[in-house]
Amino acid sequence: MNEAAKKKLLQMIPHALYVLTSQAHDKTAASTMSWVNQASFKPPMISVGIKKDTFTFEVVKESKAFVLNYLGEGQKDIAQKFFKHVEPLGNTLAGEAFGPSPHLKFPVFPNMAGYLECKVTHIVDSGDHAVVVAEVLEAELGPASGPLLLTSTGWSYGG
């Protein structure tokens, strides 16, 4: 394997940044994600690569559902807050106010570019991330202009 070529080509796949939220029993998860892809038109489906050894993956496996909050341009500082584990404090997560999504009642951040409410249909548990395939149940736009492209942040996550 040409490791340098593999790294460069995997980093060439374009990605944006999102904050995924989920809840199961008394657990609330909120994490920055970037490996998101459309998976079907009818029904509308997406796939998300979620790191397996994380609290967020544990909660998603249990709840079989999540909300994908789209970060807007210029919301890099918010993306950074959700790299580490955060616990809700009242109706805030990492200082960001949230409300309940319409069906799942999972955290939605009203100042972002919008969100998708999703129900998990399949989990492919093969590498260090799981490929979580989900159907989109509901969608709503927010006031921010999206997406927040990974390339615009100077960070990389891939390779």
Binding site for its own copies (CB under 8 A): 1-2, 5-6, 8-10, 12-16, 35-47, 49, 70, 113-116, 121-122, 124, 126-129, 131, 133, 135-141, 146-147, 149, 158-159
> Which among 69, 53, 55, 66 is positioned nearest to 125, based on CA atoms?
53
Q: How far is the CB of 153 from its own copies (least distance, A)?
A: 13
Kindly tell me which of 20 and 39 has the beta carbon lying closer to its own copies.
39
Q: How far is the CB of 34 from its own copies (least distance, A)?
A: 9
Kindly tell me which of 86 and 109 has the beta carbon lying closer to its own copies.
109
Cα–Cα dist 28/88, whole Å: 7
Cα–Cα dist 150/16, whole Å: 5
Kindly tell me which of 35 and 98 has the beta carbon lying closer to its own copies.
35
Structural element, H or E, at residue 152: helix 150-153
Q: How far is the CB of 95 from its own copies (least distance, A)?
A: 24
Q: How far is the CB of 17 from its own copies (least distance, A)?
A: 10
Cα–Cα dist 48/140, whole Å: 19
Q: How far is the CB of 102 from its own copies (least distance, A)?
A: 10
Cα–Cα dist 46/39, whole Å: 5
Kindly tell me which of 27 and 61 has the beta carbon lying closer to its own copies.
61
Kindly tell me which of 24 and 149 has the beta carbon lying closer to its own copies.
149
SS3 assignment, position 18: strand
Cα–Cα dist 145/139, whole Å: 15
